[in-house]
Amino acid sequence: MNSVWALLASIALIRTTLYNYLPEKLRLYISARFEEWTRRFNTDETMVFKDYQSSKMNQLFQAANLYLGESLPTISIPRVTVEKTENVRNLTFSMEKNTEMIDVYENIPMKWKYFSDYSQGMSKHEIRWYELSFHKQYKSLVTNCYLPYILERANKIKERNRVVQLHTAAHDFWTPKPVIIQHPMTFETLAMDGNLKKELVEDLDRFMNSKEYYQQIGKVWKRGYLLYGPPGTGKSSLIAAMANHLNFDIYNLNLSAVSSDFVLQNLLLSTANRSILVIEDIDCSIKLQNRESGIEQPIKYQQQNKVTLSGLLNFFDGILSCCGEGKILVATTNYKDRIDRALLRAGRMDMHIYLTYCTFSAFKQLALRYLEISDHSLFHHIEKLLPKVKVSPAEVAGELMKTRDPKASIEGLIKHLEEKLIADGNSEVSPKHHSSLSQTSNCQVHKSSISLPLACNGASMDNVKSPGPKPDVSVKSKLTADSEGDNNFEKTDLVRDRSSRHNILQVIEDMEKELLSYKEAIIALQKKSCGTLNKLAGIKATI
């Protein structure tokens, strides 16, 4: 024992002598050679992962933090830090400083140690790092397999734990503080055609599992969907279900608020990977020229357009769309035929989804969700009524929510559908067309030599009696005027009139001629106004 102490004392004396009398360069050389000699007897190797590297966050440090945190609840460790923030779904576990744990990868132990300290100097800040120790014979395995495995697992953990957030654009930038979306809609609770829903879910899953395939064929890993159909048929709910299914953030873009094509490109570049970019009512957001209309857009409107059709096309699949991966673009519209065909082709809008009014398949899904029934003796009445009534799934759901009793709820829905069918069938002239009718109570059409009484206020034609002797012939006809397929006169019934059939037909012919003259006058006026506006703009530019 005395000899051991004597040896230690001699080593200490020699070390002090070398430190005091040898030059610094010589001391450093002797120290380095000594460490190299002792390293030969050490079988372990250590890797250090600092939190910041060259003022940038170290991705390996972040990945190790997520990866090890997932394993902490299942192992025995003296102290563990537990956190929960609003930006993550689950609890977050992390190691306390100066603690260690063992991770096993392919039956090989990997020792992890976590350290924390504060920097020296005027501005002190915390410095964190992990140390990974393993047998040096496994260095190649750790570098080529273990660390990439940690990065992959960390990305999956991050995607699984994050909450869905809504980003909106303001002043040409995405808002710095997104809103957390807590929309409960999922594909399980979404009421839409069963086959269409299955096809869409399969398409989304296939896209998410095709990253390597897209790289193999040389295509950008992105997907575009067009949702179109009448208002209130569930387009927004479908977007929420897609976001919850993929756990993707939503970037909601209003094109009318974008100041230029350049800003549009910057907004695209600043969207995160694995996100959904939504452009709602794309046909109404900006005044895009319809290149197939044959009518030149006035220069006045061309100058007002902030985002051009060319800029929008480049936004969809230009070179800048290659920046990022896993992005999904969703555009919605009520009128698909108003969108330029160049925006609808594959590569921009890969899948077109038509959302119509409530079908019987969608009703059965709603009944199962709200009433917890899959069949009922009254279902056949609903099946007969739905094809005849334009009712949205949301409207049907509202009727089913009024009572939890299945029979009373379905009877209430049937009553609602029948009332809606009667209203649609008897109140044939819609309110928006009443302005063209007489302001008097008998609802007569003017601009004609003979006034033809129309049925109004839901009255039956048989109950409308005309004075004088009862004529032998009752005439029913339709008056329609088509303006681009959108503004259609609804059915109108002609009641019994004292005039003869010849007089009534003459009235109809006069009205048709008058409407055609109006149409020609409007077209001529439109062309003339476009030319005048162009001339005025040219004069203004020269001034």
Q: Which one of 8-17, 382-391, 434-443 scores highest in mean pLDDT?
A: 382-391
Pairing of strands 275-279, 327-333: parallel
- The model's confidence at residue 150, banded by pLDDT at 50, 70 and 90, is very high
Q: Is pLDDT at 371 greater than 70 in this prediction?
A: yes
20: left (phi over 0), alpha (psi -120 to 50) or beta: alpha
For 515-528, how does the pLDDT look when each residue is reduced to its tens digit (9 = 90+)? 877 777 787 787 77
> Cβ of 195: how many Cβ atoms within 10 Å?
9
Q: Which structural domains are found in the chain, ordered by start?
A: 43-161 (no CATH), 165-290+306-354 (3.40.50.300), 360-423 (no CATH)
230 contacts: CB under 8 Å, gap ≥ 6: 334, 355, 356, 357, 390, 392
Mean pLDDT value across residues 307-332: 82
Pairing of strands 222-228, 327-333: parallel
DSSP three-state, residue 460: coil
Is the distance from CB of 201 to CB of 207 less than 8 angstroms? no
Query: Between residues 405 and 456, which one has the greater pLDDT?
Result: 405
Which of the residue ranges 131-140, 344-353, 433-442, 466-475 would you say has the lowest mean pLDDT?
433-442
Q: Length of the chain, please?
A: 543
Which of the residue ranges 3-12, 195-204, 423-432 would you say has the lowest mean pLDDT?
423-432
For 383-410, how does the pLDDT look when each residue is reduced to its tens digit (9 = 90+)? 999 998 888 888 898 899 998 899 999 9
CA-based radius of gyration for the chain? 37
Q: What is the DSSP string of 253-298?
A: --GGG---HHHHHHHHHTSPSSEEEEETTHHHHS----TTS--PPP
Q: Is pLDDT at 186 greater than 80 in this prediction?
A: yes
- Give just the sign of the alpha carbon dihedral 516, 517, 518, 523: positive
Mean pLDDT value across residues 281-291: 64
Please report, as a single letter, which amino acid is at residue 79: R
Query: Between residues 398 and 34, which one has the greater pLDDT?
Result: 398
Mean pLDDT value across residues 171-180: 86
Is the distance from CB of 458 to CB of 427 less than 8 angstroms? yes
pLDDT for 485 equals 39
Q: Is pLDDT at 192 greater than 80 in this prediction?
A: yes
Query: Between residues 191 and 367, which one has the greater pLDDT?
Result: 367
Torsion angle of the four alpha carbons 75, 78, 79, 80, in this order, in degrees rounded to the nearest 10: 0
Mean pLDDT value across residues 450-471: 36
Pairing of strands 56-57, 52-53: antiparallel
